[in-house]
């Protein structure tokens, strides 16, 4: 079921397809996501008047538009029907695949769950305690407000509900160029976190990009390697320091013995000669 859900996920919003368009390249895209691409192209100043084409986010195929714009593209009715059946199966119980996915998407810690979270939709003062946080809406709701705002029908059946979490844990990192978009990929060329719109219509469109997970794993491996080298180097330095301390102790013992041999009444009649030899040996 998890594999099926990934196949039903839009490459732009990373949610289940909603009102999917069937592109000429055979890939699909949410109508609203396609609209965002066109709006972003207009706002970037790269095009004037109606947009006549855009690139498929999956294969980069250029999609030509007629005078009807996005309405001229076919709706992927078959895909929408599959999603509808998938969503109905997902609400069958707490152990459903959809519920398991929601728990893996954001699982609050025990310290977080014990914190009082107020409903952000209540009009009363003070607001009631929240019982759920909607990851999709990024809002915490009490039981009454949750039932009022999330009826058991589309599109709310696909929203991800978790135990209440503070608002600061939901904001995430937003794109520097598109303030309403969350970063979901890494630009290798500029060493920068970017969103999908940056790659599709922004200044990173021709740059090499990688997924955040791939970048995280590479950074993790680099840090682990550097840490291993530092530990090894530290061990070598400690060994060198131990040897230097041992040499210093030996020199101090030898120095004390020489000083005693030079004292008046010393039993060593050749103390001066020994001292001279030791002194000369240190000069060599």
Structure tokens that stand for 193 in this block: 């976190």
Query: Could you tell me the strand order of the sheet in which 192-194 lies?
Result: 192-194, 185-187, 209-211
Looking at domain 4-40+50-87, its CATH architecture is 2-Layer Sandwich (3.30)
Which of 16, 50, 13, 53 lies closest to 33, judged by CA? 13
Among 93-102, 150-159, 269-278, which is the least confidently predicted range? 93-102
Query: Mean pLDDT over residues 194-203, rounded?
Result: 82
Q: How far apart are CA 209 and CA 183, in angstroms?
A: 12
Residue 217 has pLDDT above 50, yes or no: yes
pLDDT digits (tens, 9 = 90+) for 1-43: 556 777 888 888 878 888 899 999 989 999 888 888 877 766 5
Confidence of residue 221 (pLDDT cuts 50, 70, 90): very high
Respond yes or no on whether the N-terminal peptide bond of residue 241 is cis (omega within 30° of 0): no
Residue 57 has pLDDT above 70, yes or no: yes
Q: Which CATH number fits domain 172-232: 3.40.50.720, 3.30.160.60, 1.10.3720.10, 3.40.640.10?
A: 3.30.160.60
Query: Mean pLDDT over residues 95-116, rounded?
Result: 46
pLDDT digits (tens, 9 = 90+) for 237-273: 999 999 999 999 999 888 888 777 766 665 655 555 5
Among 123-132, 166-175, 199-208, 256-265, which is the least confidently predicted range? 166-175
Q: How far apart are CA 220 and CA 99, in angstroms?
A: 30
Radius of gyration, alpha carbons of the chain: 34
Tell me the β-bridge partners of 186.
193, 210
Which of 51, 53, 57, 79 lies closest to 13, judged by CA? 57
Q: What pLDDT does 263 receive?
A: 64
Q: How far is CA 102 from CA 37, 97, 117, 159, in A?
A: 27, 9, 19, 9
Residue 225 has pLDDT above 70, yes or no: yes
Evaluate if pTM is beyond 0.75.
no
Q: What pLDDT does 156 receive?
A: 79
Query: Mean pLDDT over residues 211-218, rounded?
Result: 86
Q: How far apart are CA 219 and CA 240, in angstroms?
A: 31
Q: How far apart are CA 125 and CA 258, in angstroms?
A: 88
Confidence of residue 105 (pLDDT cuts 50, 70, 90): very low
User: Quick one: angle between helices 77-90 and 97-105, nearest 10?
Assistant: 80
- Among 93-97, 146-150, 152-156, 280-284, top mean pLDDT goes to 146-150
The mean of the pLDDT values for the chain is 77
Residue 107 has pLDDT above 50, yes or no: no
Q: What pLDDT does 265 receive?
A: 60
Residue 93 has pLDDT above 70, yes or no: no
Confidence of residue 108 (pLDDT cuts 50, 70, 90): very low
- Assigned CATH class of 117-171: alpha beta
Q: Assess whether the region 117-171 and the region 172-232 belong to the same CATH fold.
A: yes
Q: What does the domain layout of the chain look like in residue ranges?
A: 4-40+50-87, 117-171, 172-232
Which of 4, 10, 11 lies closest to 86, judged by CA? 4
| Structure-token match 């305690």, residue found | 129
Of the CA atoms within 13 Å of residue 135, those in its CB half-sphere come to 20
Q: What pLDDT does 54 receive?
A: 85
């Amino acid at each position: 079921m998890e594999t099926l859900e990934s196949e039903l996920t839009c490459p732009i919003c990373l949610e289940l397809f909603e009102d999917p368009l069937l592109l000429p390249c055979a890939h699909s895209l949410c109508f609203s996501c396609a609209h965002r691409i066109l709006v972003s192209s207009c706002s970037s100043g790269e095009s004037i008047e109606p947009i006549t084409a855009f690139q498929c986010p999956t294969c980069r195929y250029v999609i030509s538009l007629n005078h009807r714009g996005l309405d001229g593209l076919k709706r992927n009715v078959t895909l929408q029907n599959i999603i509808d059946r998938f969503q109905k199966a997902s609400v069958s119980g707490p152990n459903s695949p959809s519920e398991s996915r929601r728990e893996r998407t954001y699982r609050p810690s025990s310290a977080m769950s014990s914190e009082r979270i107020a409903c952000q939709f209540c009009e009363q003062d003070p607001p009631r305690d929240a019982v759920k946080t909607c990851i999709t809406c990024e809002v915490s709701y009490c039981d009454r407000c949750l039932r009022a705002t999330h009826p058991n029908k589309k599109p709310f059946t696909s929203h991800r509900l978790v135990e209440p979490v503070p608002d600061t844990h939901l904001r995430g990192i937003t794109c520097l160029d598109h303030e309403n978009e969350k970063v979901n990929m890494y630009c290798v060329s500029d060493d920068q976190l970017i969103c999908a719109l940056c790659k599709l219509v922004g200044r990173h469109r021709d740059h090499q990009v990688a997924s955040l997970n791939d970048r995280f794993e590479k950074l993790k491996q680099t840090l682990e390697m550097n840490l291993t080298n530092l530990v090894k180097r530290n061990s070598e330095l400690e060994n060198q320091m131990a040897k230097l301390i041992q040499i210093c102790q030996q020199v101090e013992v030898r120095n004390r013995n020489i000083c005693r041999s030079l004292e008046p009444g010393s039993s060593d009649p050749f103390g001066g000669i020994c001292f001279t030899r030791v002194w000369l040996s240190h000069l060599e």
